[in-house]
Amino acid sequence: MIKERKLPHALRLMFSGSVAVVGLGLLAHSVQAQETKTDDSPQQMQRVEITGSSIKRITKEGALPVQTLTQDDIAKSGANSVADLIQALPAMQGFIPASSSVNGGGAGVETASIHGIGSGYTLVLLNGRRIAKSAIANNDYAVNLASIPLAAVERVEILTDGASALYGSDAIAGVVNFILKKNSTEATITATYNAPTKAGGKSFNVGLSKGFGDLDKDGYNVLLAYSHDEQKNLVAGQRGFADTGVVPFTVDGQRYALYQLSSNTAPAGVTLRNNDGSTVQFSPDLLKNGSCGPNTFKSGNYCKFDYASTVELIPESTRDSFVVSGNWKLNSDTTLFGEAVASRYQIKPQYAPPAQPLALSLSSPLYAKYVTPYLSQLGVDPANVASAVMGLRLFDTGGRRDNYQTDAIHVAFGIDGNLLGWDYNASYTHSQNHFYDKALGGYASNNAFSNIVASGAFDPFQPAGSSVAILAPAVLHQTLDQSISKLDILNMHVSHDLFKAPGGMSQIGIGVEATKEQHSDSPSAILQSTNALQPNYTDAILGGGSGSLPFSASRMNYGTFAEMLVPVTKTFDLTGALRYDSYDAAKNDSNFDLAGNPIGSATQGNSASKATYKISARWQPVESFLLRGSYGTGFKAPTLAQITSPVTFVGNTAQQHPCPVSAPDPRAAGCQGTTQYDLLQGGNQLSGSSGLKPETSKQSTIGFRLEPIRNVSIGFDLWTVRIKDQISVLQENLAFGNPVLYSNLFKLFNDPIQGSQTIAFLQTPVNLASAKYQGIDWDHSFRTKTPIGDMSLQWTGTYMLKAEQDFPGSGTQSSLGKYGADQNVVFRVISRLAGSWKQSDMWTHTLAANYRSGYHDQTYTADDATVRIVNPDGSYGAFVAMPNHNVASYTTFDWQTKLTVKKGLEFTAGIKNLFARTPPLSLVTAGGGNQVGYDARYTDPLGRQFYLTGTYKF
């Protein structure tokens, strides 16, 4: 956050900056080095506080790679939201997009992730202060970008280097700092309308702001801002590349088909099991009518459900945000400040209706009506039928649709000033994130549905859509879950001149802070189902999970840091930072034993302390060349969810294993030979050596800026991040293969289904892996004046060299240039090349190219039953292995023209994806949302889009 402070010319020479030019195309604004004058004429300079440093200094090219996006850059991007803006940057990989909320675990969360290291390793700040993270435990408490209003953002600073030595935990990959507008007296109205050339996916947003009082003249300033955003949904049927789960493709001249269909279908299909163990599968509707109905696909005598045709590619969403900020000058050296941000974000993703197999009695009227007439046609002897099952899709309860609502509040106030030569800032921050999951359709009550089936009112073999009214009483319309994440912070930091160094005056910054984290989760009764808290409850949800338990956890942590800047010579600056953090163990007021019985409050996990440091240097021997570098350590504390989430029974291990213990170990009473043992999942609530400890990291960066001729700038930064003790979930094969090493993860457990003791594998987070990430960021620019206007060209990007994790017993796993074991892709190259032509003061035109390199797709074996060979006659053959499909590179072009009618009135028209490039084919079936035919995390399904923005300031 910029802190204005007037400096005389003599002091201007004593400070070095820390803002680097690493801009993204025309999104990024290069902060040019200010000229150093040798005369003694009086001048006034601004001392500022920049992301990555606690010391106020003059902004110029610095030792750390900080990218700045100004309001003009944001406007040129054509972004509709903060997530659109940030996730388009070449340095961003591995984030959670909105599309992942379509049955992909996103739950309405959109995140930032620098260099593919992960959302939990990128610290997101608002005006330099922490924000409450998402209350969704499976999203690692990353900050939800959807809660930040783009219309209120003045600029964004992105530090692509580790910063734990200043900010503490979570800053291993870097920092994204959103700075809101302030000290404005203007009234501003901005509106944007975006429409694809094809159906679906339109969006609209409007922003209003008004400032009152000039801080310098009137001694106060108050800014009010409101914004409203709407995104309409885009469904699979509106895009031909994603409207079915049967997708033909060719590899090496051979035709194949991705074959993603479900046997749970509508109308219901039937699977007959004969006395000899053989099975026969058919759809009565197909044998009767000779064809399959909507959303189904003929496969032999069966109409399988084409679930991919029913999902959304982009969910519907709305956002309303209010911002109030104020600054009051007590005197020339002291200012009181306060800010409040309140937002409500709702996203309503929809995916396939619930799948629900049902037993079909051989003596039932349904069997007599829909099975018996077709047995001879199928060649089945009625006397040999042992059992029958209906493969049913509850189409008439509707597609499963949630309203994921996030209510975010962020309040901060404090004092900023100068006392006896010390710049100081003291503040209190309260930030909270309240999440609701509300069922809008599709999900059903098991009790109500069972009663309807028992009454005979529901005929599952009738055409889809004919039983909507009959099943309506079973459909859930209620809040399924709600959780709250809170953050309270007291912070104070000061900076001051220290001593006269050979290159100028050295400076020191010192700070302390105390933070309280809180998180609670309150699943509804139907999500919990029958447990010790509600032993007489009998209902369960159809189409969703069950067995959830509440928890309410908190912890305190304290930090102190010091930073020193020393101008060693006129051309060489050295900065060192040191921080110490202390985390208390977590306190959980809703604690349960392994059987799900409440046992009251408990202290869980470990207390931990960690010291980190960072050294950075900047050498500029001549004005046209800058060499910079840094080396430091970082850490990431375990999240409250990783420690305190209740341990729940989720079923059995995926494979059979021999018993991991033997007598005289008392747990041997639960041995059952070689079998599938019970599986428990939740937080690691243990303490001591078995509990979680902070992950640690080492980061280094070295780079240069070169201006060989005027208006040409070349920049490269080589960065490396190494992580140790990375928190991960231990895979069952590794645990059962090393039962002595992982003995503490095997528990004697009373199986709720068997009603007897067995061995359970406790699959909870542990400090397991190590990781290494490495790459090169570049930023090159060229500007020139021509007879027809000013021209500029900017090329930015990231080239990844390493993205790998090491797991004991399983070796190195990499996702670089391929779909990895973590179900993610780290792209080898992401870049943006943008050219701008300022034709006059009225007209500015911009053309940009966005590029992502190709990669090796998700692979399959024949047993995965995912890819089928296509025979020469067009029929579908056997399921086959597919180890060698590659996803093509993805390049799109954007055009924008801005017209300045007069001062304060501007119109901007643009075309995104100018040549209507469709996403390249991907066979991915896991890792993102429920979309098929492309990977929605990495490409845009909207196609060509036209947008128009109008801005009026007065």
Task: Say which residue the tokens 């690692």 belong to.
Answer: 140
Tokens of 197: 């050339």
Using alpha carbons, select from 102, 109, 103, 148 the residue that is nearest to residue 127. 148
Q: Residue 893 pLDDT > 90, yes or no?
A: yes
The string of pLDDT tens digits covering residues 780-806 is 999 999 999 999 999 999 999 999 999
Task: Say which residue the tokens 């593919």 belong to.
Answer: 116
Distance CA 755, CA 753 (A): 5
Q: In this structure, are strands 746-750 and 712-729 parallel, antiparallel, or unpaired?
A: unpaired
Distance CA 231, CA 237 (A): 18
- For residue 883, the surrounding DSSP H or E stretch is none
Q: In this structure, are strands 254-259 and 334-348 parallel, antiparallel, or unpaired?
A: unpaired
Helix (H, G, I), strand (E, B) or coil at 194: strand
Which DSSP symbol is given to 377? H
Q: What is the pLDDT of residue 61?
A: 56
Q: In this structure, are strands 203-212 and 220-231 parallel, antiparallel, or unpaired?
A: antiparallel
The string of pLDDT tens digits covering residues 721-751 is 999 999 988 878 778 988 998 898 899 988 7
The string of pLDDT tens digits covering residues 198-237 is 999 999 999 999 999 999 899 999 999 999 999 999 999 9
Angle value at C-alpha 355, between 354 and 361, nearest 5 degrees: 130
N-term to C-term CA, the chain: 25
Using alpha carbons, select from 149, 142, 17, 165 the residue that is nearest to residue 92. 142
Average pLDDT of the residues in 665-671: 92
Q: In this structure, are strands 855-856 and 712-729 parallel, antiparallel, or unpaired?
A: unpaired
Q: Residue 19 pLDDT > 80, yes or no?
A: no
**Complete DSSP assignment for 502-522:** TTEEEEEEEEEEEEEEEEEE-
Q: What is the pLDDT of residue 175?
A: 94
The string of pLDDT tens digits covering residues 325-363 is 999 999 999 999 999 999 999 999 999 999 988 999 999
Residues 6+ apart with CB under 8 A from 339: 127, 180, 323, 324, 325, 326, 410, 411, 412, 413
Q: How far from the centroid of its chain's Cα atoms is residue 225's Cα?
A: 26
pLDDT band at 380 (very low <50, low <70, confident <90, very high): very high
Distance CA 15, CA 50 (A): 13
Helix (H, G, I), strand (E, B) or coil at 94: coil
The mean pLDDT of the chain is 89
The radius of gyration computed from the CA coordinates of the chain, to the nearest angstrom, equals: 30
Average pLDDT of the residues in 695-712: 94
Q: What is the pLDDT of residue 52?
A: 59
Distance CA 744, CA 761 (A): 9
Average pLDDT of the residues in 446-456: 93
Lowest mean pLDDT among 206-210, 627-631, 704-708, 752-756: 752-756
Distance CA 903, CA 951 (A): 11
pLDDT band at 577 (very low <50, low <70, confident <90, very high): very high
User: Which one has a higher pLDDT value, 135 or 147?
Assistant: 147
Task: Could you list the beta-strand ranges (E) of 597-642.
Answer: 598-604, 608-622, 625-636
The string of pLDDT tens digits covering residues 389-403 is 999 999 999 999 999
Asked if residues 230 and 318 have their Cβ atoms less than 8 Å apart, the reply is yes
The string of pLDDT tens digits covering residues 63-94 is 788 888 988 889 888 888 999 999 999 999 99
Lowest mean pLDDT among 144-148, 559-563, 591-595, 689-693: 591-595
Distance CA 117, CA 115 (A): 6
pTM of the full structure: 0.89
Phi, psi of 238 (to 5 degrees): -90, 0
3-state secondary structure 660-676: CCCCCCHHHHHCCCCEC
- For residue 638, the surrounding DSSP H or E stretch is none
Q: Residue 270 pLDDT > 80, yes or no?
A: yes
Q: How many helices (H) and strands (E) does the chain have?
A: 13, 53
Asked if residues 660 and 673 have their Cβ atoms less than 8 Å apart, the reply is no
Which DSSP symbol is given to 57? B
pLDDT band at 39 (very low <50, low <70, confident <90, very high): very low
Q: In this structure, are strands 302-305 and 296-299 parallel, antiparallel, or unpaired?
A: antiparallel
Using alpha carbons, select from 952, 945, 943, 954 the residue that is nearest to residue 909. 945
Q: Residue 595 pLDDT > 60, yes or no?
A: yes
Q: What is the pLDDT of residue 400?
A: 94
Distance CA 948, CA 929 (A): 30
Average pLDDT of the residues in 519-527: 94
Q: Residue 1 pLDDT > 50, yes or no?
A: no
Angle value at C-alpha 901, between 897 and 904, nearest 5 degrees: 105
Distance CA 48, CA 28 (A): 19
Largest Cα separation within the chain, whole Å, is 107
CB-facing half-sphere around the CA of 50: CA atoms within 13 A: 24
Distance CA 497, CA 10 (A): 13
Q: Residue 8 pLDDT > 90, yes or no?
A: no
440 residue type, one letter: L
Tokens of 857: 């797709």
Q: What is the pLDDT of residue 47?
A: 47
Residues 6+ apart with CB under 8 A from 191: 204, 205, 206, 207, 949, 950
Phi, psi of 835 (to 5 degrees): -120, 140
